[in-house]
Structure 1
Amino acid sequence: MERSASYFVQPLKLHNIGEVIMDADVLIIGGSFAGLSAAMQLVCGCRKVVMLETNKASHGFAQVSHGVLGLGGDTPQEIHTTALSQLNSYSSFQLVEDVADSVEVLEEGFAVISAQSDTTFMAKKLILATDIADRLPDIPGIKERWGRSVIFYPDSHGYELKGHPLGVLATSDLSFQQAVMIPEWGATTLFTQGQFRPEEEVLNHLLARGVRLEETPIAYLQGEGDSLGGVILDDGRKLTLEGLYVSPKAGLAQSFVSQLGLELEASFHGQVVKVNGFKETSVKGVFAAGDISNSVQDEALAIVSGAMAGVGAHRSLISKR
C-alpha cells in the first residue's frame, strides 16, 4: 500500500537557533543521474527520501547522451525531467532546492545544514551524488568546445565522430590507455605535449594500433563555433582534427567530503571517493555514487552507480548497521 504524504515528519523548530528539521531515511545530496537513480531504488523500497539539489545540476558536460540504453539522443535535461516526474509520483520522495553546506555525524545518522535556507536535514543514511569540477588543460580553444568536439570518454562519444581524424591530448601516462581505444573510430594522433613518453611495450602497442605520436605541443585549437577543424602546433604546423579526447583532472570541491573524512583513491581523472561494492564509503552509513566515486565519467555508469548506492543504503537500513 502506498504511503500518504504524511509519511514525512513535519518540520520542527529548534528552540535555540530557529532552524528547521526535516527527517528522512536517506538524504541524497545531488540530483544528477546517479542521485536520481539512487532515489528510485529507495522509494520503490518504501523509504523516505529527501533529495537536496539546486535544480541547476550540470548533468555532465555533454549536450546529448549517447550509449544510454533507451535514452540515446535525449538531452541530459530531458532525462532529468522525466526521472524527476517519475519520482514525484511516490509520496515518500521530496525534492528540496537547496545547497548542502556542512554535515555532522550523529549517534544514529547524520545532520546536514543547508547553505541557503538554514535548514537542518536529519537522515539515517547519506548518499553523496554530487558533480565534480573538471580542470581542463590551459590551451586556447579547449574550454569552449568541451563536451562538443573536445570530449572525454570514447565509448559515450565516439560513434558520432567515427570516420573522422581524431586526437588524444596527453595529460598523464593514463592517456596512453585512452589513445589505444580511439582508432576504433578514426585515424588517431596522440599529442604527448613533449611531456609524456610511453615506455617501449606501451609504445609498441600504440603503434600496432595505428596511433601516430606527435611530440610538438598544441598551441591552440581552431574551428567554427564549438566545432573543431584542427590544432595549431607550437612550430606553426596545422593538423586537421575533428575530435580531440582530453582527460581532465577531477576536483572534489565539496567541503563535506573533507568534513566527513572520507577516504579517497586515485582514478583515471584524479582522486575520487573510495567505496565498496555497494558504494559505501569509509564512513559507515555514507554512500557515494556517480562521478564523485566512479573512475570513469559516463552517464550509463553513473546510473548504475546510483542504483547500487540506493540498494546499499536500503540494505543498510534493513540490517540497521
Structure 2
Amino acid sequence: MRIDFAVIGGSFAGLSAALQLARARRDVLVVDAGLRRNRFVDEAGGTSHGFLTQDDRAPAAIAAEGRQQLLRYPGVRWREGLAEDARVTPDGRFEFRVGDLVVSAGRLILATGVRDELPPVPGLAERWGRSVFHCPYCHGFEMNAGRIGIIAASPMAQHHGIMLPDWGTTTLFLGGVYTPSEEERAALAQRGTVIETTPVERIDGIADVVLRDGRVLTMDGLFTQPRTHMSSPIAQQLGCAMEDGPMGPFIRVHAFQETSVPNVFACGDAARAAGSVTLAAGDGALAGFGAHRSTMV
C-alpha cells in the first residue's frame, strides 16, 4: 500500500493527529495494535479524568467515539495490527509491515505509546489502574482527601511525596529504594508527608500495605513511579534521537512534533517525559499540523 500519511498508534494522540490530516483532505492510514496504555482503567471499570468535556468517562468509550468520528472522513483507512520492520527507503519514503501488508508512506507519525514497568511488590500489578496509579492529576481527586500511600520505585517518589498531600493524608513507603537527604526530609515534613522506612511485604485488599514487621496500613489508594519503555521499536529502527527522562526514554521532538528524522513526527506518551490524555490529544493535533505543513516546503 502506498499512502501520503501513516499514523502508527490509534489511541488519543494518533486519533488526534489523523483527524487533522483527514480534515486537510489528505489520505491517511492509521495502524493500531489495540494496546492503549490506560486499558487497565477500563478493565477495572474505572474512568478517565481531567479531559475537558470527557471527565469521568471510560477511556475505551472516548477512544471508540474518536475512532467513529475519524472514520467518517473519506480519506481515512484503518488497519488493525502491529507495525513492524520500519525503514527509510532510498527515495526518502518510509516503509513498514503490518502482517502481510507492506506500507509505503511519505510522512510518518509515531503515536506508539509506552508500557509501564511496575516495582516488583507482590499485589501491586494486580491493582494497577484500580487502586494503584501514577498521576495525581488523573486520579488524586478520587482519593476523597483520604489516606494515600506512595510505593517508592525511584527517587521520583520524592516528587509524589511533595505533591500528593494536596489530595489527602500521605505516607511515603521508602522500601529501601532510596534514602532522602536531610533537605528532602525537611521538605516532606513541611508538606505533612509521613516517611515509613520498613520494607513493604505485599499489597492486600484494596490498598492495604503489609509491612515486613507485620503491620498493616490501610490506604484509600496508592501511587508509584513506573519505569516506562517504548511500546514499539520503530522509532529506534528509523534512527530517531531519544531523550532520557526521569521515568524512561522518550522520542526527542522539535517544533510541530518533528523528530530528528525529517518527515517523521511523534506525539503522545512516546514523545513526552510524562503525559496525560489531554496532553496526548494536544500533541497529536500539533503532529498532524506539522506533518501536513511539511508537504508545503
Cα-to-partner distance string for 1:49-98 (whole Å, 9 max, x where unaligned): 100113x2325232311110000121111111111111111111111112
Query: Displacement of 1:203 after TM fit?
Result: 2.1
Question: Which one-letter code corresponds to 1:109 in the other structure?
Answer: R
Equivalent residue of 1:278, what SS?
A: helix
Which residue is 1:99 aligned to?
82
Which residue is 1:308 aligned to?
286
CA RMSD of aligned residues (A): 1.4
Which residue is 1:251 aligned to?
229
Question: Which one-letter code corresponds to 2:17 in the other structure?
Answer: A
Whether 1:89 aligns to 2:67 is: no
Q: Any gaps of 5 or more consecutive residues in structure 1?
A: 1-21
Which residue is 2:202 aligned to?
220
Cα-to-partner distance string for 1:113-150 (whole Å, 9 max, x where unaligned): 22x2x211111111111132211111111111101100
Which residue is 2:180 aligned to?
198
Q: Which structure features the higher share of helix residues?
A: 2
Tell me the distance in 1 between the aligned counterparts of 2:296 and 2:183: 50
Which residue is 1:110 aligned to?
94
Equivalent residue for 1:31, pick from 10, 16, 33: 10
1:170-189 aligned at under 5 Å gives the runs 170-189=152-171
Which residue is 1:51 aligned to?
30
Question: Which one-letter code corresponds to 2:194 in the other structure?
Answer: R
Query: Displacement of 1:221 after TM fit?
Result: 0.6
Percent of aligned pairs with the same amino acid: 39
Whether 1:293 aligns to 2:271 is: yes
1:253-268 aligned at under 5 Å gives the runs 253-268=231-246
Equivalent residue for 2:130, pick from 139, 148, 151: 148
The 8 Å contact of residues 191 and 215 in structure 1, kept in 2 or not, is answered as yes
Tell me the distance in 2 between the aligned counterparts of 1:121 and 1:48: 13
Tell me the distance in 2 between the aligned counterparts of 1:198 and 1:265: 26
Question: Which one-letter code corresponds to 2:56 in the other structure?
Answer: G
Normalization by structure 2: what TM-score?
0.94
Query: Displacement of 1:176 after TM fit?
Result: 0.7
Q: Any gaps of 5 or more consecutive residues in structure 2?
A: none
Cα-to-partner distance string for 1:164-220 (whole Å, 9 max, x where unaligned): 100111111122112211001100011111231222332221111101111111110
Tell me the distance in 1 between the aligned counterparts of 2:147 and 2:112: 34
Tell me the distance in 2 between the aligned counterparts of 1:255 and 1:297: 20
Which residue is 2:21 aligned to?
42
The 8 Å contact of residues 59 and 76 in structure 1, kept in 2 or not, is answered as no
Normalization by structure 1: what TM-score?
0.87
How many residues end up aligned between the 2 structures? 291
Larger radius of gyration: 1
Which residue is 1:283 aligned to?
261
